[in-house]
Amino acid sequence: MSTRSPVRVLIHGASGRMGRALLRLAAERDDLAVVAAVSARGDALPEAGAVPVLPAARLSDAPAFDVVVDFSLPEAFDPLLATCLARGAALVSGTTGLSAGQFAALDAAAARIPALWAPNFSVGVAVLTELVRQASAALPGWDADVVEAHHIHKKDAPSGTALQLGAAVEAGRGRAPHYASLRAGDIVGEHTVQLAGAGERLELVHRATNRDIFARGALEAARRLAGRGSGRVGFGALLLGGAAR
Ligand SMILES: NC(=O)c1ccc[n+]([C@@H]2O[C@H](COP(=O)([O-])OP(=O)(O)OC[C@H]3O[C@@H](n4cnc5c(N)ncnc54)[C@H](OP(=O)(O)O)[C@@H]3O)[C@@H](O)[C@H]2O)c1
């Protein structure tokens, strides 16, 4: 049992697939205390238990919090970032499909608050990203493709994780890969980086079978980010001690 006060967390996007997993898993930790759950409509949520649920329009009424864990939609991002700045709270966001302008605003905000955005909070993908960079650097003349598959409700394509892996390919060999996206059934998330040369092919694959891995990673990131100084940090850097965003 921890002797420190629990980190006060606001879950943003609480009624979603990820938000409900975050509420359930946060309740199992004694180093985190969820103080509010926010969704677009603010409908009652069984997973929230005694935690107050607020509609996004009443975000400013939330009780004091140290860190937000956000898995929502890009249109929710700007008011959320403004609230974090106003409260001096840290932000952990896994929301994908953010615009270049929103990333620029996140970088600017990181001058004043701790901030972490990651397209994938699985430890396996953090390691895969580094392997992809190494393989691409070793095989600079080969064709490179990033193929991703997700459930039919996913709105953005290619996935944020595919773009992170593509950036690793580009960092390794100096050229971006091709992308392909599949949307089918209830696939949690699959990513393949294929490097193809004449007469041989290398495939690096990650398959997520349960979205709890992302929720666990994001909650651990929230605990580590709260209380840090301002600045933007990546998930790999925070957890694995690497340097990548
Ligand atoms: N980084 C990672 O590891 C990772 C892993 C999985 C998913 N994701 C990303 O996380 C995001 C959420 O995924 P999901 O599958 O949980 O989505 P989802 O099931 O569609 O849930 C979306 C959530 O956002 C809320 N929301 C929508 N508009 C909002 C607004 N304007 N203000 C506040 N909240 C708003 C919704 O509230 P209502 O229910 O009231 O509409 C709901 O709670 C997506 O961008 C997805 O790509 C990232």
pTM here?
0.89
Residues 44-64 have a mean pLDDT of: 96
| pLDDT of 245 above 50 | no
For the residues of 183-212, what is the DSSP string, one character each?
E-TT--EEEEEEEEETTEEEEEEEEE--TH
- What is the distance between the alpha carbons of residues 7 and 19, in angstroms, rounded to a whole number? 18
Q: How far is the CA of 6 from the centre of ligand 1 (A)?
A: 25
154 is catalytic: yes
The SS3 call for residue 101 is: helix
Q: How far is the CA of 203 from the centre of ligand 1 (A)?
A: 30
Whether 236 is in the pocket of ligand 1, judged by its Cβ within 6 Å, is no
**Which of 154, 155, 178, 206 is flagged as catalytic?**
154
149-173, pLDDT tens digit by residue?
999 999 999 999 999 999 999 999 9
Whether 83 is in the pocket of ligand 1, judged by its Cβ within 6 Å, is no
